[in-house]
Amino acid sequence: MIAFILRVVINALALAAAAWVLPGITVTAVESSDATLGIVLAYLVVGLVFGLVNAVVRPIVSLLSMPITCLTLGLFTLVINAAMLMLTSWLTQYLPFGLHVDKFFWDAILGALIISLVSAVMGWIAPKQR
């Protein structure tokens, strides 16, 4: 359970880094009396949805796109990550907390690259569960 919560926090931090760097990625929260708590909760909820999308949909898409991934020497994985980011954006539009990505090519691709890098570094720093 602790590893799951840690993974959600890492996803939230990675999404926050992408939203901070790229103006085309925004995370919105509902109006509340404490704005800081609302935005932190928004990042955690979007991180949870992003983690669920990566756990459920991404393996299927990766398996189906294996030939083109091999043909592009793995670079198509970046497009898959961007598609998962766009799917998360579409899913969270129905929640009070939302992720919005403006354009697929620049915002989603660069956002997926930033999220992958931050998640890799944070996963490397975080203690391993045994």
Model confidence over 11-34: pLDDT tens digits?
Answer: 999 999 999 999 999 998 877 677
pLDDT at 36 over 90: no
List Cβ neighbours of 47 (8 Å cut-off, separation of 6 or more).
Answer: 8, 9, 10, 11, 12, 13, 14, 15
Work out whether strand 25-28 and strand 98-101 pair parallel, antiparallel, or are unpaired.
antiparallel
pLDDT at 130 over 70: no
The model's pTM: 0.88
User: Looking at residue 84, what is its pLDDT?
Assistant: 94
- CA–CA distance, 31 with 127 (Å, rounded to integer): 35
- CA–CA distance, 7 with 50 (Å, rounded to integer): 11
Helices (H), the chain: 2-21, 35-64, 66-71, 76-92, 109-125
State the pLDDT confidence band at 69, using cuts at 50, 70 and 90: very high
pLDDT at 129 over 70: no
Task: Give the amino acid at 104.
Answer: F
Local structure of residue 15 (DSSP, 8 states): H
Question: What's the rounded mean pLDDT across residues 56-82?
Answer: 94
Task: Give the amino acid at 90.
Answer: W
pLDDT at 126 over 80: no
- The answer to whether 112 and 123 have CB atoms below 8 angstroms apart is no
Closest C-alpha among 106, 64, 66, 61 to residue 84: 61
User: Looking at residue 31, what is its pLDDT?
Assistant: 74
39-54 pLDDT, tens digit per residue, is 899 999 999 999 999 9
pLDDT at 35 over 80: no
